[in-house]
Amino acid sequence: MTTNHGRKDAAREKLQQILEEAAEGGADSIELEYAPEGLEISTLVGSTGIGNVLDDRMLAREIIGLIIDRAKLENKSRGVMNWILVGKPRNIIVEEYDSFGESAFRLILGKPRRKHR
């Protein structure tokens, strides 16, 4: 049996993997949208996208919950999530929008922040 803490760790690790792969591939943004098969994850570079589906629904819910929490989206549809990607701090703009009556999310990957001296 997986504990609540274990599910949160798994969600953090999976989101880290999704974000790292997108950043390393030069992606501008990631879209997360529920589909009948699970959570559809689309990585976008310009107008070209590659997608896959996360079929673990509990993990998908934990990832969405983590994004909502980190971007402080409880009462608004846009926020910023601070995250370390490829060893550098990034401000990821998160937008929540409606897709066929369900919440969907766009994560816009900002440029790496410079370290202050």
Domains of the chain, first to last: 4-112 (3.30.450.90)
Question: Cα dist. 47→13, 30, 56, 113 in Å?
Answer: 27, 12, 28, 25
Torsion of the alpha carbons at 81, 91, 17 and 31, rounded to the nearest 10: 70
Q: Region 8-27: what's the mean pLDDT?
A: 94
Q: What is the layout of strands, in order, in the sheet containing 38-45? A: 48-54, 38-45, 29-35, 102-112, 88-99, 78-85
Beta-bridge partner residues of 98: 103
- What is the pTM for the complete model shown? 0.87
| Angular region, 59: left φ>0, alpha ψ -120 to 50, beta rest | alpha
Query: Which pLDDT belongs to residue 114?
Result: 60
Whether the per-residue pLDDT at 18 is higher than 90: the answer is yes
In the chain, pLDDT over 70 holds for what percent of residues?
A: 92
Strand-pair category, 78-85 with 48-54: unpaired
In the chain, pLDDT over 90 holds for what percent of residues?
A: 73
How confident is the model over 65-107, as pLDDT tens digits?
999 999 999 999 999 999 998 888 899 999 999 998 999 999 9
